[in-house]
Homo-oligomer: A and B are copies of this chain.
Amino acid sequence: MINAQIVGATGYGGLGMTELLLRHPHIEITSLLATQDVGKRIGDVYPHLRGFCELAIGEANADTVGRDADIVVFATPDGVGQSYARGLLERGLKVIDYSGDFRFGSPEQYDEYARRHPSIGGRAHSSPELLAESVYGIPELNRERLQGARLVGNPGCFAVAMVLGLAPAAARGLIEPDGLIVDGKTGISGAGKKPGPTYHFPAANESVSPYRIGTHQHDVETGMAIGALMEAPVELAFVPHLVPVTRGIICTIYARLREELPAEAVRAAYEGFYAEEPFVRVLPPGVSPGLASVRGSNFCDLSVTVLPAQRRLIVASSIDNLLKGQAGVALQNMNLMLGFPETTGLERVPMYP
């Protein structure tokens, strides 16, 4: 049995990991740490967990982080994981971090992201020497490096949907690297557990609103991942929108094909690329990748449409933002890091309706 510690256990990201690990046959949660609700049992913070977990929230600090753990999950804001990671690795622990701290392979790339991120404000990475070792946690692209890895940067929720939606076309050289458009729609849980005016029910309900138009930091991450596949810099405009659902992200992706290809050829490329993937489903023509079909699961559902006269490729990519976009992909990465079958604990049927 592997011992796991979750830091940031009272947010939605930590909660998602707790829910998953409660059912994992090989990983046990040994401690839940946070900076809020310290001393409360998790079932008092989240009543739906009553009867499942008797752990109390411990305070996250230098003494507690890493204690009695084989692996530490940082479900924390940017900057926290990078302040602990080196020490934990030196003690022989493994680390996975939900923030942008370890998604980038070089300080230069991290800096580009940090300049864009509103809460980082361009601050330099505190352990830049770890970036070369850390692995970007998208198993469909980096499976081999993730196997046995010590340090993983879990991807951003929007980035998962974007990267999986673009990767086959990028890797097979089907699309032009510039003029990429991604129109994203996210459920409100993507903003986390903390209340705010924008997420107040009467404000968010019955509305749809774009935010951070063209300035969201997830496009940096996506641009680098796709640029690496294309071996060229990509030009990407990304507009996220808040939609009044609790869970789910759908990204509608617009790209220009290099040459006029029939829809069947492009769809076949997608099907081939993901043929062995347990959590990506390329939908047949006429089936729409609605959020409802992936809710509660680790799937990414993709539809592939081509407008031949425009050489226009349109991919719609849906995930549950709290699972494939966060805790689910994290567990998929952890299974790879720890040598367990990749799908362990993740074979969940989506919940419909």
Contact = CB atoms under 8 A, between A and B. Distances in A.
A224 interface: no
A115 interface: no
A185 B200 contact: no
Contacts of A189: 202, 353
A241 to B, nearest CB: 7
B352 A305 contact: no
Contact of A351 (B197, B296, B310): B296
B185 A202 contact: no
Contacts of A19: 349, 351
Interface string A262-305: 00000000000000000001010001111111111100010101
B254 A181 contact: yes
A211 B288 contact: yes
Contacts of A287: 47
A203 B247 CA distance: 11
Contacts of A352: 15, 46, 48
Nearest to A52: B349
A186 to B, nearest CB: 9
Contact of A350 (B48, B193, B292, B350): B48
Tell me which of A23, A199, A201, A244 has the highest count of chain B C-beta atoms within 10 A of its own C-beta.
A201
B195 A197 contact: yes
Contact of A200 (B50, B195, B281, B307): B195
A312 B237 contact: yes
Contacts of A347: 23
A295 B353 CA distance: 11
A246 interface: yes
Total identical chains? 4
Contacts of A188: 200-202, 205
B200 A283 contact: no
Contacts of A303: 210, 213
Contacts of A197: 193, 195
Contacts of A203: 292, 353
A250 B245 CA distance: 16
A261 interface: no
A111 interface: no
A346 to B, nearest CB: 12
Contacts of A246: 201-202, 205-206, 353
22 contacts: A48-B293, A48-B297, A52-B349, A185-B208, A187-B202, A189-B202, A195-B197, A195-B200, A201-B205, A202-B246, A206-B206, A206-B248, A206-B295, A207-B290, A208-B248, A209-B290, A210-B289, A210-B316, A213-B305, A213-B314, A213-B316, A239-B314
**A-B complex: 8 closest residue pairs judged by Cβ atoms:** A209-B290, A183-B183, A202-B353, A207-B292, A48-B350, A195-B195, A188-B201, A48-B293
